[in-house]
Each structure stands twice: as structure tokens, then as C-alpha cells.
Amino acid sequence: MTARATRLSDLGLTARAGRDPALSGLTADSRAVRAGMLFAALPGTATHGAHFIGTALEQGATAILTDAEGLRMAADLLADTDTAIVVAEDPRAALACAAALWFGSQPETMVAVTGTNGKTSVATFTRQIWSALGHAAINIGTTGIEGAWSAPSSHTTPDAITLQKLLAAAAEGGITHAAMEASSHGLDQRRLDGVRLKVAGFTNLTQDHLDYHGTMAAYLAAKARLFTRLLPEDGIAVVNLDGAKGSDMAELALARGLRVLTVGKGQGADLQIAATRPDATGQEVRYLWQGRAFQTRLALIGAFQAENVAVAAGLAIAAGDAPEAVLATLPRLTGVRGRMQLAATRRNGAAVYVDYAHTPDAVETALRALRPHVMGRIIIVFGAGGDRDRSKRPLMGEAARKHADVLYVTDDNPRTEDPAAIRAAVMAACPEANEVGDRAEAILRAVDALLPGDALLIAGKGHESGQIIGTDVYPFDDVEQASVAVAALDGVI
Ligand SMILES: CC(=O)N[C@H]1[C@@H](OP(=O)(O)OP(=O)(O)OC[C@H]2O[C@@H](n3ccc(=O)[nH]c3=O)[C@H](O)[C@@H]2O)O[C@H](CO)[C@@H](O)[C@@H]1O[C@H](C)C(=O)N[C@@H](C)C(=O)N[C@H](CCC(=O)O)C(=O)O
Ligand SMILES: Nc1ncnc2c1ncn2[C@@H]1O[C@H](COP(=O)(O)OP(=O)(O)OP(=O)(O)O)[C@@H](O)[C@H]1O
Ligand SMILES: N[C@H](CCC[C@H](N)C(=O)O)C(=O)O
Ligand SMILES: [Mg+2]
């Protein structure tokens, strides 16, 4: 890929003492610095990048971008050097905008969706709608880059440089439409600053990630940045009014003078979910677009999916496609891997679903979504991730206790924590649950417990293909384990 801008000033950066060197690249990781590059020494969660300015200079960095703190930390090193020094109040935002200019192009129609739950689903549905309408489209998020081209991704929202590089490659490869997930970490760390958004969507805000944000108010503020800062003045906000904090988000957008397209069950919504009727494999939904009825069938289980589809349709409409055309594509939508996915069925008819619920609200939502489809008991296998929000663990246990009939508490991704301590925190709210640390064994035992009419929900890991124990990743796939368990118990291969 050819860079279009090569000088600091071309990237909107002003160095001290009028220095304006030509650059060979940008990085925020000292280990990736090569001769002629700009090294962004950023304040992080574990350390400050300024600790690595010495290494960056040794490796030939031509420019350093940092904040006042970084400048103070590296004052001695930077005192008499030819290196161009840029000090920015918000160096992450400056780097993101510089990266956008460095890589140049982005798909013409860019939309982003935020919220605690539903981002991957909405971004994927939006891409599916666009593809059905003939656009060259991708979605970017937790499940990687999917659609007209695909690639893996390690983050839900890639860091700014990776993101801008990928957007430019997509645009140069002919992609015209991209729907991306805006995680709260991504918004807080300015990973999306520099993305030229037409539309932004909001699903809901409930508890997660308090390990990072500290308070719900700070978590909300991070999400709100998408509407209060990143969406341009002529952008459109698409808001699910039924999602927790939906009306707050709509108000913030309106207060900024943005156009807001609302979705929800209430009569005032632009795209109203007027009625839903669940059946064995999906649901009939009656949507009203500005009062006009569209009857449709979704091959998706769960009332929450009708909401996610409404947000996705809202994004596509706000981004410029005709409402009738958008709504006509909905019967063709297919579920996202690991989201309420029917993984296996026992010979006695009992179904096993795999779902990515890893927050208290998602556990409740997923279990409630299953209820109309289940005559017998709902059994759940779940746990909570290590090195993540600890306070959500008992709340997940409580949601499972309230909405499932039989509980198996097992390990999710323990990461560097003691798995038994995580299970104990979950079980504080559901002491009667069965505790089976080994996830494969928990799945086997839960599948074994299924009677005719029952259903099993394996929650928390969805599409994930590995289990993180310590810092190692072991192959593990809930869908595969469900099939293996059913085959072992029912004697089929
Ligand atoms: C908490 C968090 O989000 N951390 C991310 C962040 O790290 P950081 O900037 O805080 O890093 P740090 O270790 O404090 O280092 C500070 C700076 O020094 C630099 N450094 C560090 C060491 C060195 O030798 N040289 C060097 O230059 C680092 O590159 C960094 O710029 O920036 C890094 C580079 O982009 C990310 O890899 C890292 O993601 C970590 C691994 C992570 O697990 N993030 C998760 C929580 C995350 O972002 N999740 C969300 C999804 C959440 C959801 O489900 O909603 C996501 O979008 O994926
Ligand atoms: N609109 C919704 N409201 C409540 N829960 C939902 C909603 N949509 C999805 N969920 C639940 O959240 C889980 C994760 O869905 P999805 O992957 O779409 O969310 P996400 O926001 O992308 O999650 P992540 O933060 O991990 O990226 C689903 O498996 C389901 O249990
Ligand atoms: N993006 C989410 C994924 C959580 C998935 C769950 N399996 C876990 O490991 O906690 C997070 O970083 O919180
Ligand atoms: Mg996601």
C-alpha cells in the first residue's frame, strides 16, 4: 500500500522547533520502530509508552508523538536530539487522525455500532443487508472481518493504526460499505477517532467492563463519545429506545443537533417493532416504517434479535438505502456464529444452543429468549471470564438462578485468575448450582441431564475457538463439544 502523506505536517501534526521530517511509518509500539518512523509514546493502562522512547530513538525514530507527561518523563533523552517532538493533549486521538491521513482511503459508507450487547449481531446483520442489496460490504468486530473479504482480528475494535490500514486496504479492494463495532475500550482509547462515519448505532448499556471504566457513569461516557464526538454534524444516530439508556443516548445526540432515527416497540419509533410471534425456528415480526407495515419472518431466535435487526435496518436506511428495499432483505438474514446457535439436538428432541452471553443482562436476555421455545426445563452451562469485571460474576449467577431451572457453573476463560475463585464468586448468587470446573465435562453432564422438552444453553464463549488458561490458549469450541457430547450419549457419530 502506498502512503499518501509522508511529512508530519501532512498528518496534521506540528512538531516543536519547526521540524517536519518525512516519515517511513507510524507505530505506538517501540518494538516495531524502524528507521524514519514516528513513535507514538502513549499513556497506557499498564505503563507509559514514554518509557520506551530511548529504544525508539536507538532504532531510528524520526519523530516522537507524546503528551506532556511523556515529554517530562523523557526530557533528558529528548533534550538535544534532532528528532521531531510533537506534544499533544490527546496523543491517542492525534495518532488516530494521523493514521487516517497516512493510510488515506476508507470505505465510502462507514457505520459504527456501540452498546454492551448486540454489537457483533448488529454489525453482521447490517453487512448482510448491504450484501443482499448488492453492495460490496464487510463487518469488522469480535468475529474478525467478514463479508466481501475476511480476516481474523484480535480485538473487537482494532487499534487505530491496524484499523486505518485495514480500512484503506478494504477501500482499495473495492469495499464500499463497512459496519464496525465500537467497543467501549476502543472509544475510550480513541481507536475510532479518524474514522469517517456516516451513521452510528446504539443497542443498550448494562453492566460490563467495570474493571476498566470503574463506574457505570464512566462506561456510559465512553459509549457516548461515539455520538457526542465521533459522529460528524451531518451524521445520523440510530438508537434502540428499548435498550437500557437508549433514551439518554438519543437525547445526547439530539442535544448536539444530530438527526436521530429511533427503533423500538413504542409508537413513536421511526422503525417500530409492532408485533412478534416466536415459532420453532425463528419469529414472525411486524415492523412499521414511519407507520407503514412490513410483515417479515426472521430465521433468528430471541426477541432481542428482532431489536438487533431493527437497529441494523435503521443503520442501512440512515446510510442511504431505501427502507422498502432494506426491509425486504430481512428474511434472508442468518444468525451470527455462536449467538443463539442451535449446536446439536438429542435423540429425544432436546435442543442445545450455544450463545455468547457474558454479561448479567445477556444471560437474562438469552434465557428469556429461549423460554417461549421450551416446554420443559432450561439448563444452563456458564461461568465468567478471568481478568475482567469481577463485580458482574454474582450478577450473572443471579440472572441464571432466576431464569434457568438447572445450573452448571464451569470455567469460561480463567486467564491468570484462580478458576475456583471465579466459580465461587458466580456461585455466591446461585449456591444450589452444580459446580463442574472442566468445561467439556460440564457440557457432557448437562447434555446427559436433558429430558424430552428440555433445552440447554451453553453461554459465554459463543464463537470462541480457544480457552485461555493462564496465558496459554487451548483449543476449545462449545459447538463442537456439544456435538461430541450428544454423539457420545446418543451413540451417533
Ligand atoms: C486495556 C486495554 O484495552 N489495553 C490495550 C491497550 O494497551 P495499553 O495502551 O493500555 O498498553 P500498555 O501496556 O499500558 O502500554 C502503553 C504503551 O506502551 C507501548 N509499549 C509497551 C511495551 C513496550 O515494550 N513498548 C511499547 O512501546 C504500548 O504499545 C502502548 O502504546 O492497547 C494495546 C495496543 O493497541 C492493546 O493490545 C491492549 O489490549 C489488551 C490486550 C486487551 O485485552 N484489551 C481488551 C480489554 C479490549 O480492548 N477489549 C475490547 C472489547 C471489549 C468488549 O467486549 O466490549 C476490544 O475492543 O477488543
Ligand atoms: N440486543 C440485545 N440485548 C441484550 N442482550 C443481547 C442483545 N443482543 C445480543 N445479546 C446477548 O449478548 C450476546 C453477545 O452478542 P453480540 O456478540 O452481538 O454482542 P457484542 O456487543 O458484540 O459483545 P462483545 O462486547 O463481546 O463484542 C448474545 O449472545 C446474546 O446473549
Ligand atoms: N469481549 C469480551 C469477551 C468476553 C468473553 C468471555 N468468554 C470472557 O472471556 O470473559 C470481553 O473482553 O469482555
Ligand atoms: Mg462483539
Of all ligands present, the nearest one to the C-alpha of 355 is: 2
Instruction: Give the per-residue pLDDT at 422.
Output: 98
For residue 337, the CA-to-ligand 2 centroid distance in Å is 12
Average pLDDT, the chain: 96
Q: Given this model, what pLDDT does residue 489 score?
A: 97
330 secondary structure, DSSP code: G
Instruction: State which fold the 8-99 domain adopts.
Output: 3.40.1390
Percent of the chain surpassing pLDDT 90: 95
Full-model pTM: 0.96
Sheet-wide strand order for 25-27:
25-27, 37-40, 63-66, 84-87
| Interval 2-26 mean pLDDT | 87
Q: Any residues with CB less than 8 A from the CB of 190 and at least 6 apart, and which?
A: 90, 92, 93, 95, 96, 160
Question: Span 282-293, mean pLDDT?
Answer: 95
Mean pLDDT in residue range 28-40: 97
- Tens of pLDDT, residue by residue over 437-476, are 999 999 999 999 999 999 999 999 999 999 999 999 999 9
Q: Give the residue ranges of DSSP H helices in 173-234.
A: 184-188, 210-213, 216-225
Grid coordinates given for 313? 435496518
Nearest to 276 by CA among 369, 354, 338: 369
Can you say which residues are annotated as belonging to the binding site for ATP? 115-121
Rounded to an integer, what distance in angstroms lies between the CA atom of residue 306 and that of residue 302? 7
Task: Determine whether the shortest distance from the Cβ of 140 to ligand 1 is under 6 A.
Answer: no
Give the Å distance between the CA of 183 and the centre of ligand 4: 8
The pLDDT value recorded for residue 411 is 98
Q: Which atom of ligand 1 is nearest to the CA of 29?
A: 27
Give the pLDDT confidence score for residue 2 in this predicted structure. Answer: 47
Confidence of residue 228 (pLDDT cuts 50, 70, 90): very high
Residue 284 has pLDDT above 60, yes or no: yes
In terms of phi and psi (left: phi > 0; alpha: psi -120 to 50; beta: otherwise), the region of 458 is beta
Residues in contact with 228: Cβ distance below 8 Å, sequence separation at least 6, in sequence order: 252, 253, 256
* Residues whose CB falls within 8 Å of the CB of residue 211, separated by 6 or more in sequence, listed in order: 387, 388, 389, 390
Q: What is the pLDDT of residues 112-124, one digit of tens each?
A: 999 999 999 999 9
| Tens of pLDDT, residues 74-122 | 999 998 888 999 999 999 999 999 999 999 999 999 999 999 999 999 9
Q: Which CATH number is associated with domain 341-489?
A: 3.90.190.20
User: What pLDDT is stored for residue 93 in this prediction?
Assistant: 98
Question: From the alpha carbon of 209, which atom of ligand 3 is closest?
Answer: 13
pLDDT score for 65: 98
* Nearest CA owner, ligand 1 atom 6: 44
pLDDT at 345 over 60: yes
322 against 1, higher pLDDT: 322
pLDDT-derived band at 493, boundaries 50, 70, 90:
low
| Domain map (residue ranges) of the chain | 8-99, 105-332, 341-489
Ligand 1 pocket test, candidate residues 26, 42, 73, 359, most atoms within 8 A of CB: 42
Say what the pLDDT of residue 343 is. Answer: 97
Known binding-site positions: 30, 115-121, 156-157, 183, 189, 191, 388, 412-415, 460, 464
- Among candidate residues 326, 294, 354, 270, the one with its CA nearest the CA of residue 128: 326
Q: Is 338 left (phi over 0), alpha (psi -120 to 50) or beta?
A: left
Q: What's residue 415's pLDDT?
A: 98
**Predicted pLDDT at 1:** 45
**Does 4 score more than 70 pLDDT?**
no
At which residue does the C-alpha cell 493514521 appear? 99
ipTM confidence: 0.97
491 pLDDT band (50/70/90 cuts)?
confident
Q: pLDDT, tens digit, for every residue of 197-221?
A: 999 999 999 999 999 999 999 999 9
Mean pLDDT across the stretch 151-178? 97
Residue 280: its pLDDT value, please? 79
Helix axes 360-370, 392-403, angle to 10 degrees: 10
CB of 139 closer than 6 angstroms to any ligand 2 atom:
no
Q: Are 262 and 253 in contact (CB under 8 A)?
A: no
Q: Residue 305: CB within 6 Å of ligand 3? A: no
Burial of 35 from C-beta contacts in 10 A (0-12 / 13-18 / 19+): exposed
**pLDDT > 60? residue 238:** yes
Strand 236-240 versus strand 259-264 pairing type: parallel
Quick: pLDDT tens for 371-421: 998 999 999 999 999 999 999 999 999 999 999 999 999 999 999 999 999
Neighbouring C-beta atoms of residue 290, cutoff 10 Å: 10
Superfamily of domain 105-332: Mur-like, catalytic domain (3.40.1190.10)
DSSP state of 268: T
